[in-house]
């Protein structure tokens, strides 16, 4: 009887995962969708523990609940305390934990299943993918939080990585085929997979990390699914495959938004020195500078202002002051909205999350396709800490590495004001001709500092 | 070849679930606006935390005298739970901010 109940619980949990993901794709239902999936997860976990057949030692129950309690407390506190700007790396970290969990399951289950080659194959596949996802996520986490700044590239790293990957699978095949009982092979394979995860992510630049995290996310889903296969456990299978396929699609959608084929992200055609130098020498000229007081006057007499936020805004923690700026301008009868590029920030949708944190209205956040026709009727565009997403070279210069990437067409507005800390090039490492145009003025300085000055100036104008 | 046919026979239901779920995953994500990509990724991240169920099964199937299995299983359950709890909580925090603000 118990066995039937657990299957019904797993079925319900699988349905909550599907509905949860579905509801997550709509702003109105997203939050409930997340809670629904969480409820399904709790049911699946409790069902697994309490409806298990056979006598279980109390010590084991104690250990399981101890581990769950510890994981809950640590996970909860970390998630509650993290600043919203640090969120992408946290997702990466949690993803790594899931991968490690899958890898450890493989380590334990190997010697229970040595006589069943099919199971060994499933175990090794789950373990390899889980380990790669774990070590890769840790590197992605270190890159996003700035511990690891530069892309490290071993000589011929593409060939090297591919060789290691082939080697991993060959080794796994050998273990299955030889029906070895030796755990030395198992641990060697485990460490080799960990090293591969590091080498896989380390050459990839920081700008591509969201794509990598999304990819590793679907890897962990796959690793969970292999676990489901091993145990004949439906909920692990449905949850794992669901995330695996949805995650892969999400990865491709992100790549499309950046106009970067996944192949280029992984095998790195970006930021190669020859292309960036060629374009850098291409644009020269003088830039116009503007100060907060002049800009305040200009803004005060505008009818319509669009704000283009980028990662620089997030770094400077300027999301609250920009809301204040919006408020004060609205009070003066200026129409203000935000133009959000799909990959603004460090993850698609990251900028929306940050602005929502400072109470910016959801309706004021306009997506690229909707806002592009509006630039020609806009008096002033304020670009805060964004660069590549407003670079006209993406449309006009076929030799540019970002050529073909959809951009916000700010150059159609009457005036463009760009806030940057310096004239340094953006993530793509290329110069932006927009900065040298006649209608463009530069507002140099830390976003939070200069925007605060701007708000002060606006208040003084009253 | 025989092994593959045998594998399919034994795991028929599982193979069905896998194939269908691939399509469900693609369909479900299909129309998500870019705004929600990050919360969606984070939510999916929490869902693959279901791997913790496997870690729990590892512990339930092991003898309490098997220290290696107990130790690794304990760490696995801990990490998996962190994935689940942290994933759902951080997603909820992101989505909380999308609430319509009353003026």
**What distance in Å separates residue A340's CA from the closest CA in chain B?**
9
Same domain as B92, residue B51: yes
Distance CA B26, CA A53 (A): 35
Domain ranges of chain A: 1-81, 86-270, 283-460
Exposure pattern of A229-258 as b/e (b: 16+ CB <10 Å)?
Answer: bbbebbbbbbbbbbbbbbbbbbbebbbebb
Q: What is the predicted pLDDT for the residue at B75? A: 96
Angle at Cα A343 formed by Cα B100 and Cα A384, nearest 5°?
Answer: 80
Query: Do A63 and B47 make contact, defined as CB atoms within 8 angstroms?
Result: no
Residue linked to tokens 């993530």: A427
Known active-site residue A363: no
Q: How far is CA A297 from the centre of its chain?
A: 38
Residue linked to tokens 């084991």: A60
Point out the residue among B18, B39, B84 whose CB comes nearest to the CB of A30. B39
Residue linked to tokens 């190669």: A272
Same domain as B17, residue B47: no
Give contacts of B 53-72 with A, CB under 8 A: 53-64, 68-70, 72
Helices (H) and strands (E) in chain A, counts: 18, 6
Of A57, A361, A388, A438, which one is the catalytic site residue? A388
Domain that holds residue B54: 34-103
**How crowded is residue A118: how many other Cβ atoms within 10 Å of its Cβ?**
16
Q: Is A109 on the interface with B (CB under 8 A)?
A: yes
Residue linked to tokens 């806030």: A419
Q: What is the predicted pLDDT for the residue at A398? A: 78
Same domain as B50, residue B96: yes
DSSP A125-183: HHHHHHHHHHHHHHHHHHHHTTSS-SPP--TTHHHHHHHHHHHHHHHHHHHHHHT---H
Same domain as B51, residue B82: yes
Domain count, chain B: 2
CATH 3.40.50.1220 for the A283-460 domain, yes or no: yes
Residue linked to tokens 């993850």: A347
Distance CA A320, CA A310 (A): 14
Same domain as B46, residue B12: no
Same domain as B54, residue B95: yes
- The conformation of residue A287, written as its DSSP 8-state character, comes to -
Distance CA A389, CA A426 (A): 9
Same domain as B74, residue B25: no
Q: For residues A276, A280, A283 and A287, what is the CA-based torsion angle, rounded to 10 degrees?
A: 120
Q: What is the predicted pLDDT for the residue at A1? A: 47
- Residue A381 — φ and ψ, nearest 5°? -110, 130
β-strand pairing of A335-340 with A365-367: parallel
**How crowded is residue A301: how many other Cβ atoms within 10 Å of its Cβ?**
11
SS3 label, residue A25:
coil
Q: What's the pTM?
A: 0.79
Same domain as B96, residue B67: yes
Residues with Cβ within 8 Å of residue A8, at least 6 apart in sequence: none
> Does the ipTM exceed 0.90?
yes
Site from A6, A18, A99, A105 to mutate, B interface, most B CB atoms within 10 angstroms = A105
Q: How far is CA A401 from the centre of its chain?
A: 22
Q: Is A16 on the interface with B (CB under 8 A)?
A: no
Q: What is the predicted pLDDT for the residue at A276? A: 39
CB-based burial of residue A195 (10 Å sphere; 0-12 exposed, 13-18 middle, 19+ buried)? middle
Same domain as B43, residue B21: no
- The conformation of residue A400, written as its DSSP 8-state character, comes to S
Same domain as B62, residue B100: yes
Q: Is A25 on the interface with B (CB under 8 A)?
A: yes
Angle, to 10 degrees, between the axis of helix B12-29 and the axis of helix A209-231? 150
Q: Mind spelling out the 3-state secondary structure of B58-73?
A: HHHHCCCCCHHHHHHH
Distance CA A257, CA A238 (A): 28
Q: What is the predicted pLDDT for the residue at A313? A: 83
Q: Is B15 on the interface with A (CB under 8 A)?
A: no
Q: What is the predicted pLDDT for the residue at A10? A: 94
Q: For residues B14, B15, B18 and B20, what is the CA-based torsion angle, rounded to 10 degrees?
A: -110
Half-sphere exposure of B60 (CA within 13 A, CB side): 19
pLDDT tens digits in sequence order for chain A, 462 residues long = 455 889 999 999 999 999 999 998 888 888 999 999 999 999 999 999 988 877 788 889 999 999 999 999 999 999 999 887 788 889 999 999 999 999 999 999 998 888 888 889 999 999 999 999 999 999 999 988 877 766 677 777 788 888 899 999 999 999 888 888 788 999 999 999 999 999 999 888 766 788 899 999 999 999 999 999 999 899 999 999 999 999 999 888 878 776 677 877 777 644 443 333 334 444 456 788 888 888 888 888 889 999 999 877 877 778 889 989 999 998 888 999 999 887 777 666 778 778 887 888 878 888 888 888 988 899 999 998 888 888 888 888 877 767 777 888 888 888 899 988 877 666 566 778 888 888 888 888 888 888 899 998 888 887
SS3 label, residue A31:
helix
Point out the residue among B46, B52, B60 whose CB comes nearest to the CB of A52. B60
Q: Name the β-bridge partners of A416.
A: A381, A440
């Amino acid at each position: 009887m118990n066995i039937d109940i657990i299957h019904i619980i797993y079925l319900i949990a699988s349905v909550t995962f599907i509905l949860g993901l579905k509801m997550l794709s709509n702003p109105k239902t997203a939050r409930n969708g997340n809670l629904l999936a969480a409820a399904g997860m709790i049911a699946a976990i409790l069902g697994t523990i309490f409806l298990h057949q056979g006598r279980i030692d109390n010590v084991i129950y104690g250990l399981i609940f101890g581990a769950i309690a510890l994981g809950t407390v640590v996970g909860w506190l970390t998630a509650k305390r993290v600043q919203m700007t640090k969120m992408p790396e946290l997702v990466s970290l949690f993803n790594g934990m899931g991968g490690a969990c899958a890898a450890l399951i493989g380590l334990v289950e190997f010697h229970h299943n040595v006589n069943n080659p099919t199971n060994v194959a499933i175990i090794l596949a789950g373990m390899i993918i889980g380990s790669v996802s774990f070590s890769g996520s840790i590197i992605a986490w270190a890159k996003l939080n700035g511990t690891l700044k530069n892309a490290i590239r071993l000589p011929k790293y593409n060939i090297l990585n591919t060789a290691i990957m082939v080697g991993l699978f060959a080794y796994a095949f050998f273990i299955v085929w030889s029906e070895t009982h030796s755990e030395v092979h198992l641990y060697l394979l485990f460490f080799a997979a960990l090293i591969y995860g590091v080498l896989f992510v380390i050459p990839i630049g920081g700008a591509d990390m969201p794509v990598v995290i999304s990819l590793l996310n679907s890897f962990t889903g796959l690793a969970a699914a292999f676990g489901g296969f091993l145990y004949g456990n439906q909920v692990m299978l449905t949850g794992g495959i669901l995330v695996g396929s949805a995650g892969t699609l999400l990865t491709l959608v992100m790549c499309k938004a950046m106009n970067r084929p996944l192949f280029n992200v992984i095998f790195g055609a970006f930021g190669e020195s020859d292309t960036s130098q060629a374009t850098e020498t291409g644009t020269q000229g003088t830039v116009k500078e503007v100060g907060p007081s002049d800009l305040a006057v200009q803004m005060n007499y505008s009818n319509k202002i669009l704000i283009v936020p980028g990662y620089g805004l997030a770094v400077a923690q300027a999301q609250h002051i920009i809301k204040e700026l919006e408020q004060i301008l609205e009070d003066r009868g200026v129409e203000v909205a935000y133009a959000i590029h799909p990959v603004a920030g460090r993850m698609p949708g990251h900028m929306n999350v940050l602005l929502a944190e400072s109470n910016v209205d959801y309706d004021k956040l306009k997506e690229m396709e909707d806002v592009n026709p509006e630039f020609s009727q806009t008096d002033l565009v304020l670009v805060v800490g964004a660069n590549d997403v407003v670079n006209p070279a993406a449309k006009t210069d076929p030799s540019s590495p970002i050529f073909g990437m959809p951009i916000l067409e700010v150059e159609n507005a009457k005036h463009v004001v760009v806030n940057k800390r310096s004239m340094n090039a953006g993530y793509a490492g290329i110069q932006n001709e927009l900065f040298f145009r006649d209608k463009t003025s530069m507002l140099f300085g830390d976003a939070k500092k200069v925007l605060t000055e701007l708000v002060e100036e606006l208040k003084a104008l009253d | 070849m025989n092994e593959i046919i045998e594998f399919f026979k034994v795991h028929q239901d599982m193979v069905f679930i896998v194939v269908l779920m691939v399509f469900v995953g693609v369909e479900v994500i299909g129309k998500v606006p870019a705004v929600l990509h990050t919360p969606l990724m984070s939510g999916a991240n929490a869902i693959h935390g279901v791997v913790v169920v496997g870690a729990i099964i590892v512990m339930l199937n092991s003898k309490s005298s098997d220290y290696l299995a107990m130790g690794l299983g304990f760490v696995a359950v801990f990490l998996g739970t962190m994935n689940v709890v942290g994933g759902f909580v951080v997603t909820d925090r992101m989505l909380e901010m999308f609430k319509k603000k009353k003026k």
